[in-house]
Amino acid sequence: MNVIRKGGIAAVLVGALAVSGCGAAERGGEAGRGGTGTATASGRPATAAAGQQDVQVNRSYWYAGFKVTLGTARLSSANSSGDGSPVVTIDATFQNLSPNRDAPPPGDLLLTSGADSYDVVSEAHADLPEVSAQRSRKGVIAIEVDDRFNLSQAVLTVGEPRSRQAVVPLARPDGSILLEPRPISIRGRVYPEGRKDVFITLTGGEVRADDFTNLAQAPAGQEYVLISFTATNDGPAGMTYVFDRDLNLVLPDGTKAGNAGSCSRAQVHVQPHSTVTPDGQACFAVAAPATGAYRFVWDNKDSEGMRFSID
């Protein structure tokens, strides 16, 4: 892809995310287990003055099953870059939140400054590491820019326009869209049609813009509501199942959303006189932002559903 160098015609192109070692000291190994924590990196970045060569970002964004924490962003001159173009590098820690998939971090990246847009990876600095499931690795994002680039105006956009995009102004927190997951407080029992010896106990949930299990991102304008639960069979029936297709979410406007495809992993077989916990969660795609009064129902038995709110 080409660099868009002039103002007025800003086509939002999606480039590749690149991570660079910048020497042996910069190359990160496995850095401990990562979870689905929602705390952003601490610290408030200083505002970069025009022409400043570095800035502390110190913020995290979530995208396609990765939590990415950005550190120092630097603007290097053409002479020091060694490849004929100025380069912006951003120290980053990539945390793979998937429970079982190893992968490199997502590579859709656009860097803008004023009316100019840049998406060409600096090959001399780029190294996109594979990150093991539930682990972290350090690296450097590197994008070629030009002499008009102003670090104080720089904005990093992650994701294609057809997906929920993360937006990180490098020199200021204002305007950030970090897509940080939001917890849901929900607890109670839900029953299927015609049964009281079988029930689901809701234990919590969250709203997020990605399917972290499958390292996928929600479509533009949508996000996922994930519900955790246990399933109990107090009776003697041996063929008792919870199926994703039988779980529904009643939205604030009264319409219903079914399971969101591979994002939902709630199917479970419940043996007689036992309680089990699914390996995954019930997952529903809803319009963003998800706010208001919702109801979780099983077998479309609305009267036995569990009501909860999302702020």
Extended beta strands in 87-132, E state: 87-96, 109-113, 116-118
**Alpha-carbon gap, residue 159 to 185, rounded angstroms:** 29
Per-residue confidence of the chain (311 residues) as pLDDT tens digits?
Answer: 444 433 333 333 333 333 333 333 333 334 433 343 333 343 444 445 444 589 999 999 999 999 999 999 999 876 554 557 899 999 999 999 999 999 999 889 999 999 999 999 888 887 789 999 999 999 999 999 999 999 999 999 999 999 999 999 999 999 999 999 999 999 999 999 888 999 999 999 999 999 999 999 999 999 999 999 999 999 998 889 999 999 999 999 999 999 999 999 999 999 999 999 998 999 999 999 999 999 999 998 888 899 999 99
Q: What's the Cα-to-Cα distance from 215 to each of 1, 103, 142, 178, 304, rounded to whole Å?
A: 24, 8, 22, 17, 33
Phi, psi (deg, nearest 5) at residue 81? -75, -30
Could you give the angle at the alpha carbon of 184 between the alpha carbons of 304 and 258, nearest 5°?
A: 55
For residue 94, the one-letter residue type is F
pLDDT at 148: 93
pLDDT at 119: 95
Question: Is-contact 284 310, C-beta < 8 A?
Answer: no
Cβ neighbours of 256 (radius 10 Å) = 13
pLDDT at 238: 87
Domains recognised in the chain with CATH numbers: 24-169 (2.60.40), 182-310 (2.60.40.1240)
For residue 22, the one-letter residue type is C
pLDDT at 107: 83
